[in-house]
Structure 1
């Protein structure tokens, strides 16, 4: 019991101290000419799904919820965004080679099909990212058709 009474104030001090160590926010405030939605004619329903379920971690403009400034949550979110953008960045999609774009389009369809994306922790906190079967099918079909069209042109 004495150990808990001594440890609790120390943990509180550490918790308060780490609040001052904030990661940089992923918010450029602009839509680049290389943005996925600028280089492809994406139907509104697919566009809405991508913006709600993908763009926070896979673009240069993350929308941050209220809890994103609380540590250690902010560090975890920053890590997810960095890793997400390393794999796929919709803001830079137009700068990818045609071959890479085709690969990414097919990969998006496959990861949605395999329920790997959006990740579970994101879906838990963002109800708009919980895709119905119809939404998944819509995005997967559009991605595959676009990949096929690009492949035919190359």
Structure 2
């Protein structure tokens, strides 16, 4: 009985290797990218690309394990969720109010250490933000939100 269960599990694991989610392999640097719409210092661009763009842009640099199901399915789901929430590659397509709100969320998520996700930084050590990087991102967001001039609703 145990042998049949193990063979069944093995067949399922081999079978799901043929299920391939779509890759997020479009161009990261699009004309609508945030770096072309608002002023982004080089240091902030570097931080965004290291810590955010793999899940929040149209291009992901996949690690080797992204080709193994069910990990590939899990990663695809996380990337889709990330892009639905905020896509830096399409930032210029947002209206000013939405841009302002998304920038506000960036600052909040970074300040509260919710982003980048702890599971992501566990594997991608270079995506861990230092306190200085966090403060730099937060200050940059404040500056850009002020430039947008959106009056918050009460």
Q: Which residue of 2 aligns with 1:102?
A: 100
User: Using the alignment, how far apart are the partners of 1:128 and 1:4 within structure 2?
Assistant: 43
Q: Report the number of matched residues.
A: 151
Counting only pairs closer than 5 Å after superposition, residues 1-154 of structure 1 correspond to structure 2 as: 3-29=1-27, 31-151=29-149
- Tell me how large the CA RMSD over aligned residues is: 1.5
How many Å separate the matches in 1 of 2:108 and 2:27?
A: 30
Supply the distance in 2 between the matched residues of 1:116 and 1:30 (Cα, whole angstroms).
Answer: 23
Normalising by structure 1, we get a TM-score of 0.93
Gaps of 5+ in 2: none
Distance 1:93 1:136 in 2: 21
Moved segments of 4+, more than 3 Å: none
1:30–1:129 CA distance, 2 compared to 1 (3 A): closer
> Gapped runs of 5+ residues in structure 1?
none
Name the CA distance, whole Å, in 2 between partners of 1:83 and 1:122: 14
Q: Which string of whole-angstrom CA distances, capped at 9 and with x for unpartnered residues, describes residues 98-148 of structure 1?
A: 111111111100110011111111111111111111111111111111111
Indicate how the Cα distance of structure 1 residues 102 and 79 shifts in structure 2: closer, same or farther if over 3 A, else same.
same
C-alpha distance in 1 between matches for 2:114 and 2:32: 26
CA deviation string 1:68-89 (max 9, x = no partner): 0101111111101111111101
